[in-house]
């Protein structure tokens, strides 16, 4: 195994990673796209386009992305495949970059492109179904628009995607068997613990708490109304930076370190 980076060898490793498991990679991608389309169509028929956009994007992008990340370095379910992967004449950096490229770049690009096509189709279909002579035509027309990847909802989903993908990639190097399920259980446990710990701490300072969003806001019952207490702007910015960049970056880089350890 060579510890130096070589672009030609990287290309060979990437090609091998994709062609060696085409059924798994293409199958995951195809299933994700089909589920996204079905989710969009079903939710749109029941609750409208706005909810369909968010539901399909969250479910397809996050679930599909987590499976892809878990599979990118998922060679260690058996000793033979794990040993074969570790013995490839390539550096750990090249192998790690292949996984990053597959799960964090190529998957995301294909999914976002497909979602945009689906979204444009349904939105245009909605526009065509409107009556231009209706007095509410303008309001109805402008009430629906193509889902923007730069809006606040999309940005939050992207942050969750990179955190979950990093956790799945790292988990596949620590858990040889059913790594996806084990990491999913750990993530769910952490989320539940964080929520209730945050609720408990908030209860020490406030009464009549309606809901508490970890690291963001506390909703208080004030008579028949709901009041919101947000974190100070500086603290909120620091936490946002931590969740958006530090934690996912740490997860992805730790996967590189773990892969290097497995090769030793």
Mean pLDDT across the chain, nearest whole number?
Answer: 86
Query: What pLDDT score does 3 carry?
Result: 65
The residue that leads in pLDDT, 225 or 52, is: 52
Q: Which residue has the tokens 């446990």?
A: 189
* Res 79: pLDDT: 66
Q: 245 pLDDT band (50/70/90 cuts)?
A: very high
pTM: 0.86
pLDDT at position 257 over 60: yes
User: Rounded distance, CA 251 to CA 160, Å?
Assistant: 13
Report residue 55 CA to chain centroid gap. 13
Tens-place pLDDT, residues 101-144: 988 899 999 999 999 999 999 999 999 988 888 888 888 888 88
**39-57 CB burial, b ≥16 within 10 A, e <16:** bbeebbeeeebeebbebbb
Question: How much is the pLDDT for 78?
Answer: 67
Residues 175-220 have pLDDT tens digits of 878 888 999 999 999 989 988 888 888 877 777 787 777 777 788 8
Q: Among candidates 45, 61, 47, which has minimal Cα distance to 103? A: 61
Residue 254: how many other CB atoms lie within 10 Å:
16
pLDDT, mean of residues 227-244: 85
pLDDT number for residue 1: 54
Question: How far is Cα 262 from Cα 92, in angstroms, rounded to an integer?
Answer: 9
SS3 of residue 5 by DSSP: coil
pLDDT at 41 over 60: yes
The residue to which tokens 């613990």 are assigned = 193
Give the phi and the psi of residue 52 in degrees, each rounded to 5: -65, -40
Contacts with 230 (C-beta within 8 Å, 6 or more apart), sequence order = 216, 217, 236
Name the band, by pLDDT with cuts 50, 70 and 90, for residue 28: confident
């Amino acid at each position: 195994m060579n510890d130096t980076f070589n672009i030609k060898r990287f290309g060979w490793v990437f090609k091998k990673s994709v062609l060696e498991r085409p059924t798994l990679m293409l199958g995951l991608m195809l299933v994700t796209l089909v589920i996204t389309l079905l989710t969009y169509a079903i939710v749109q028929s029941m609750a409208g386009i706005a909810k369909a956009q968010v539901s399909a994007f969250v479910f397809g992008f996050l679930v599909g992305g987590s499976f892809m990340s878990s599979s990118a370095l998922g060679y260690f379910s058996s000793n033979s495949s794990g040993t074969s992967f570790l013995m490839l004449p390539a550096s750990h950096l090249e192998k790690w970059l292949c996984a990053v490229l597959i799960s964090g770049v190529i998957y995301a690009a294909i999914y976002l492109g497909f979602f945009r096509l689906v979204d444009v189709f349904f939105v245009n279909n909605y526009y065509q179904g409107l009556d231009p002579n209706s007095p509410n035509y303008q309001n109805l027309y402008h009430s629906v628009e193509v889902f923007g990847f730069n809006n606040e909802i999309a940005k939050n989903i992207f942050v969750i995607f990179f955190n979950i993908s990093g956790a799945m990639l790292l988990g596949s190097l620590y858990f040889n068997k059913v790594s996806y399920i084990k990491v999913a259980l750990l993530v769910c446990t952490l989320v539940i613990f964080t929520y209730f710990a945050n609720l408990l701490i908030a209860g020490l300072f406030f009464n009549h708490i309606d809901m508490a969003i970890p690291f963001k806001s506390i909703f208080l019952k004030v008579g028949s109304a709901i009041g919101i207490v947000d974190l100070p702007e500086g603290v909120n910015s620091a936490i946002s930076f931590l969740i958006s960049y530090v934690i996912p970056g740490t997860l992805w880089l730790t996967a590189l370190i773990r892969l290097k350890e497995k090769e030793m």
